[in-house]
Every structure is written in structure tokens, then in C-alpha cells.
Amino acid sequence: MTLNEFLKEKLKDKFDNIDYLISEAEKNKISLEELFYRNGLLDDDFLKLKSEFFNLPIKKFDYSEQIPQEILNLISKDFAKQRKIIVFDKKDSEIYIGAVNPETNPLNETIDYLKSIYNQEIKAYIISIRDYFLIFRQYNKFSDVLKETLFNLRKTKPLVTEEEIVKLEEEVLTDEEAPVVKLVQSLIEEAVYLQASDIHIEPLVRKLRIRFRILGDLRTIAYLPKDFHRQIINRIKVLSKLKLDETRIPQEGRIRTFIHGREIDLRIGILPTIQGEKIAIRILDPLVGLKKVSDLGLLVYSYEKLGKAIKYPYGLILITGPTGSGKTTTLYAILQELNNENINIVSLEDPVEYLLESINQSQVRSEINYTFASGLRTILRQDPNVILVGEVRDLETAELCIHASLTGHLVLSTLHTNTALGAINRLLDLGIERFLLPETIRMIMSQRLAKRLCDSCKKEETPSDDLKNIISDNIKYIDKEIIESLKIDINNPKIYHPSGCEKCNFRGYIGRVGIFEIILITDELKKAIYDKKTNEEMEKILIEEKFINLKQDGIIKSLMGLVTIEEVLKIT
Ligand SMILES: [Zn+2]
């Protein structure tokens, strides 16, 4: 039996289009696993099936886990690429390797070969193609690539004047091997590898500064000589089909590409400044932005509330929080949770950030008068069950959302308010009639993002007396049962700080985690909204209903060692 035959048998219940998927993979000359990976379908079950088929133990890697260079280099980059294997550890007289597909690349040959070189036992594991791409990337050290390309650039293209550059860039663009092409490519690859959300290429007076936004913070990655500015800009303009000769007005474009084996969208924004054109690139990486509800960082008490809210066939679900607080990621996670063959999901977004399988996504275009409001009217004629509206900004959109949720649709949207409770006031301020709210709103969730501490190197500490007071002031209102279920010792609280190790690239943090507060609209709250209760009165009801606010959720997460308490206090 071949691997594909085995997978077909095992996966046919989960994917009734498995024959089609296999033929697509064959057509694209990639493995079924790579096809799954590219389409966001790959999960741990797939890895378990491979492990079962090849009878090999599983090895998984954390994102940004670093393999020491001397271990990685036990096999060459070419060998790793050709055989789709990596070496990830070495102990005593054993070498540990991970293989993606021993069917196409027979393992015993590889093992014999490695044994003959190193005269050590070889322990083989099965790894996912995602992890293979992650680790393989570590063969290219960005600083080396940068050094090499700059060197080549200097060697092949001596300093030129502004007029000459125009000719020069044509040469560069036709020659795919040109250093600047490589430079831009490795810059983008590095940003994706570091899970940066944005790349900034900024002309300063004498230099060109490259900065990445990583986990919310801007970091300078490199300074380049300013004479490369125009070539880099032009390369990016060509890739995103923007006008080369237009340098005085802002331009926006888009690049869709494959990086480290996955489809990634790049949004390009070019802004003329006094020093020349500045480029901002937003990276939309499905690995970072597309998460399952279970990966968002919801603790049991929040998870249960969310689960309840999305079971309703109709009503309004609102997510609030400032820009960059992860609202879209949460919305997409909920949509994926709701997605099945029996319901019709239609979205209206500005812009569409990630493409989701079998969801009808539509993009607002204000320049042709396709707005949230006009789009919603159109969507309602498409027989939807679930509607996602990117953002409620005005009365018309708000009214249409309310109307849609009253007429049997589940409507998901976001609002720009800081707290969950604030959403009610915001809708009233926009002009929505008070009596409509209790009947439509099911759930309001507010959220922030905090950096997630690296589990391998975080340091446990005893908080100062001041912090202890803040902790107990916030914890004392939380239901005892909830605290007990979380297994944190509130009488002797511990907090955690980052230190840095190989696994987290010496940053102390790996990824980010959401901080949430969730209000489920209960009968008590419905009555309170009807009765025009003040915010203070509403808060009292919430406490009785075991509501946990943003700060409390954050403090709980800091006591659990997920985030630092300092960041929680700053963002909540
Ligand atoms: Zn670490």
C-alpha cells in the first residue's frame, strides 16, 4: 500500500473530496501533505497517520525553535533539501534525524550513509512538512545573506548618479540573478521567518533603514547605503505592479507569493517623504493570523462563554479592542469553527486579509460605492446563515447588522471601543434604538494581545508588595471555583519574566496570546439595558455573573506564567 492509498482510506470520512485533493497534489507535483499545508488543512492527525504508516515516532518543533548550527550542519543544505530530512539533535553516540516522507526518500539509504560518515547510531523520527520548512530555513542566516548580497551589489554595480539608475534598474529587473532581487527576497523571507507583521524601508538623510515590527515592537534590522534605495523601491514596485515613474503620490499594491512553503500575502504601501519614497509592507501570514479558537489563548471560563454564544442560529456577536489587538484573528477563528457544508457564510471585509476555504469573502470598495452598508444589502440577498461585517463604523451599517440579526442571521462584527461594556454605549451613540439591543446582542468580547513568555527560559519571581496588592485587589472579586480550577496559588503568587534561550532566539518570548473579557447577554443584563442602568450598575450585575474583566484575565495569565504582569498592566 502506498502512503496516498493509506491516507485516502483514513481521511475519506473527514474529507469527502479526498480524491480531488490527491489529484490536485499530483497535478501540482507536490505531496498530499504539502497541498494540505498550503491550504491550511494540515493538523496533528495527519502527522499521526504518517507515524502510523511508517512506524516511526513523532517529533514536533516549536515555532522559532533553533537548532544549533553545528548540529544542523551534520548534513549539508543540499542533502537536507533533496532528501527532505533534517538533523535536530546529537547525544552521546546517537544522531537524531527527522524525515518528512520516507516513501519518496528511502530512510535506510540515508541512515546507512550517515552511519558510514559519523559511525554513530541514527535515530529517525517522522516530522511534518511545516516543521521541515521551519528548520530548513535555519540553513540561511540572514546576516550572511545580507553581507554577501551587499558585497555583490557593490562589486557589480558601482556607485551611480540618479540619472544612471534608471537604465541600471532595467538591467537589474531583467536579470533574475541580480543581487537586489536576492536582497529583497531574503528581506521578505527573513521577516516572515521572524513572524514580523510589517517591514519598513525608510530613507533617512544618509542611510536606508530597514525595520521589522515583531510581536508589536519595531526593531531595526539593518542600515543599508542609501544608493540602494531606488533599486529596492523599484524591485518592490515591479513585484507589486505599481508605477515605477510615479514618485510623488502614495501608491498601494499587493504581492501574493510562496514563502517557506506557504502562501503569503504582502500589502505594499508607498509614501513619498522628504527623503524619498518610504515603503511599508504588511505581511499576512496564515501561520500567524489564522488560528483556531482553541489557539487564541482563551481560558476555560472564556472558552465556554464563546462556545455558548456561537451556538445561537441568529443574533449579533461583537468583538472590540484597539487596532492591532487581534480582532480579525478572533473573527476568522470563529468563522472556521462555524464553517460546515450546511451553512452559508458570507463576509464583507475591508480589506480581505486571509482567504478562507468555502467562505464567500467580499471586499468593501468605497471608491465604487461598495461600502459596508451597500454590501450588506447585497449580501442579505445571497441567503446567508452567517455574516461577517469587518467593522461597524456608522449608523447605517449598525442598523443593517441589527436588522440582519433580527431576521435570522448570525452576524459577527467589530467595534472600536476599549471595553466590552463600551460597545453598548457606542451603538446607542451611533443612534441605535435601545429596545433593539437586548434582543439582538448575544455576546460582546473585548481583547488585547500580549507577548507570550518562552516556556523554556522564563524566570519565576516573587512579586513586590506593590504588585502583590494590585494582584489581590483584582483577584478578590473572581469566583473562588474559577481560581481553584486554574491551579494558581493566590496566597503565594509568582510572576514570570523573560530571559532568552536558543529556543526563543534569545528574545524571551514566542508569539502572542490574547487577553479577553466576554459578556454574555443574560436575561438579567437584557433587563438592565432596557431599564437604562448606569455602567456602575451594569458592572455590579457582571460581577454577580462571574464576569472576568481584561485586567483580571491578564493577571491570571501572568500568574500562570503566560505573560508578564508589567505588560498586562500597561495594555489593560
Ligand atoms: Zn527561551
Q: Does the pLDDT value for residue 157 go beyond 70? A: no
Q: Return all residues near 516 (Cβ < 8 A) that are at least 6 apart.
A: 296, 297, 298, 302, 445, 446, 447, 550, 553
Burial of 116 (0-12, 13-18, 19+ CB in 10 A): exposed
Listed in sequence order, the DSSP H helices in 61-220 are 69-72, 77-83, 107-118, 129-136, 142-156, 162-174, 179-193
How far is ligand 1, taken at its centre, from the CA of residue 484, in Å? 28
Q: Does the pLDDT value for residue 304 go beyond 90? A: yes
Q: How far apart are the C-alpha atoms of 414 and 411, rounded to whole Å?
A: 10
One-letter amino acid for residue 509 of the chain? Y
The partner residues of 40 in beta bridges, in order of sequence, read none
Q: How far apart are the C-alpha atoms of 214 and 230, rounded to whole Å?
A: 26
How far is ligand 1, taken at its centre, from the CA of residue 454, in Å? 5
Task: State residue 467's pLDDT score.
Answer: 95
Q: 147-161, 475-489, 540-554: which has the minimum mean pLDDT?
A: 147-161
The partner residues of 94 in beta bridges, in order of sequence, read 91, 121
How far is ligand 1, taken at its centre, from the CA of residue 66, in Å? 10
How far is ligand 1, taken at its centre, from the CA of residue 459, in Å? 10
Residues with CB under 5 A from ligand 1 (ion): 454, 456-457, 501, 503-504
Rounded to an integer, the average pLDDT of 217-242 is 88
pLDDT digits (tens, 9 = 90+) for 363-385: 888 888 888 989 998 888 889 99
How far is ligand 1, taken at its centre, from the CA of residue 498, in Å? 7
Q: 77-86, 141-150, 233-242: which has the minimum mean pLDDT?
A: 141-150
Burial of 36 (0-12, 13-18, 19+ CB in 10 A): buried
How far is ligand 1, taken at its centre, from the CA of residue 390, in Å? 36
How far is ligand 1, taken at its centre, from the CA of residue 366, in Å? 45
How far is ligand 1, taken at its centre, from the CA of residue 200, in Å? 27
How far is ligand 1, taken at its centre, from the CA of residue 133, in Å? 21
Q: How far apart are the C-alpha atoms of 425 and 102, rounded to whole Å?
A: 60
Phi, psi of 207 (to 5 degrees): -130, 170
pLDDT digits (tens, 9 = 90+) for 460-479: 999 999 999 999 999 988 88
Rounded to an integer, the average pLDDT of 501-525 is 91
How far is ligand 1, taken at its centre, from the CA of residue 328, in Å? 28
Rounded to an integer, the average pLDDT of 133-150 is 77
How far is ligand 1, taken at its centre, from the CA of residue 554, in Å? 21
CATH of domain 3-138: 3.30.300.160
How far is ligand 1, taken at its centre, from the CA of residue 511, in Å? 12
Q: Does the pLDDT value for residue 554 go beyond 50? A: yes
How far is ligand 1, taken at its centre, from the CA of residue 556, in Å? 21
Arithmetic mean of pLDDT over the chain: 88
pLDDT digits (tens, 9 = 90+) for 183-224: 888 889 889 888 899 999 999 988 899 999 988 888 888 888
How far is ligand 1, taken at its centre, from the CA of residue 61, in Å? 14
* 290-571 placed in CATH 3.40.50.300: yes
Rounded to an integer, the average pLDDT of 540-561 is 95
Domain ranges of the chain: 3-138, 140-284, 290-571
| pLDDT greater at residue 380 or residue 279 | 279
How far is ligand 1, taken at its centre, from the CA of residue 468, in Å? 26
How far is ligand 1, taken at its centre, from the CA of residue 65, in Å? 9
Classify domain 140-284 at the CATH topology level.
Answer: Beta-Lactamase (3.30.450)
Task: State residue 152's pLDDT score.
Answer: 66
How far is ligand 1, taken at its centre, from the CA of residue 506, in Å? 6
